[in-house]
Homo-oligomer: A and B are copies of this chain.
Amino acid sequence: MSDDSGIIHRIEPGSKVDLRAIDPRRTPGLSGSKEEERADAERLHGENIAAMRSLQYRLWAEQKQSLLVVLQGMDTSGKDGTIRHVFGPLNPQGVRTRGFKKPTPEELRHDFLWRVHKHTPEAGRIVVFNRSHYEDVLAVRVLGLIPEERWRQRYDHINDFETLLHESGTRVVKIMLHISKDEQKERLQARLDEPDKRWKFERGDLETRKLWDDYWAAYEEAIERCNAEHAPWHVVPADRKWYRNWVVSSIVRSALESMDPRTPPPAPDLDGLVIE
């Protein structure tokens, strides 16, 4: 077992969430100079990856359970980088990622979980959502796209949906990459200033940035209302990318360990079989 349970930044179900009280630059679980901390985080992250590879192999062989990782966070919070560093090293045959952007006209003509449900993982598989059904109580709320009574109903719908997944063998793990407004400023500026990052810059991100406080309020309520023992939220300090990577790999490793996937026992009727 990993001993990272203290640093996975899980929000206790039923508790309030105050994002202002969670410093996105903190690195609890590490000590020493920043260089020492970084070296430790990278080493520990590497150990997590090795453990996750072995767990993924067993999950695939077992063919009974699956894992859904929901990644959320403000623009530039590092969702893409997290996927590259945490899930990139796994066997791609057993991992799928799925991004959810603005719904298509076809998707809007269905309930909000219709497009999401299609992409949940089957037995043996890990799926990572880059944004998710939570945007339907985040962006949709902040931008006022539907009346309040309608997005409020969605907390129950999400809880019901995640309960269905859980009771069907899918572990649901939800992660908010938590960056500071200052850190976002630097990252957006870098996208403007560095020619090979310019393609990532979107003008719309500046509009979203103006709504920072509204988004945080929406995140806080969504996390509070949709945080179950069987589908917990984690708020990961993400200003430092090396810390974020280590924490997320620790969360995923810990989830896989608690699922305890097992390679099926050898079939006894194959004992002594000789390939001629």
Contact surface of A with B, Cβ cutoff 8 Å = 63, 106, 109-114, 117-118, 120, 122-124, 150, 153, 157, 160-161, 163-165, 167-170
Contacts and interface: CB of A to CB of B under 8 A. Distances in A.
A120 B124 contact: no
The 7 closest A-B pairs by CB, nearest first: A111-B168, A160-B160, A109-B122, A109-B123, A117-B117, A157-B164, A110-B122
B170 A111 contact: yes
Number of copies of chain A assembled together:
2
Contacts of A118: 114, 117-118
A230 to B, nearest CB: 13
A168 B120 contact: no
B113 A164 contact: yes
Contacts of A122: 106, 109-110
Nearest to A164: B157
Contacts of A163: 157, 160
Q: Looking at A165, A168, A169, which has the most chain B CB atoms within 10 Å of its CB?
A: A168
Contact of A111 (B109, B112, B113, B164): B164
16 contacts: A63-B109, A106-B122, A109-B123, A109-B124, A110-B123, A111-B168, A111-B170, A113-B117, A114-B118, A117-B118, A150-B167, A153-B167, A157-B164, A160-B160, A160-B163, A160-B164
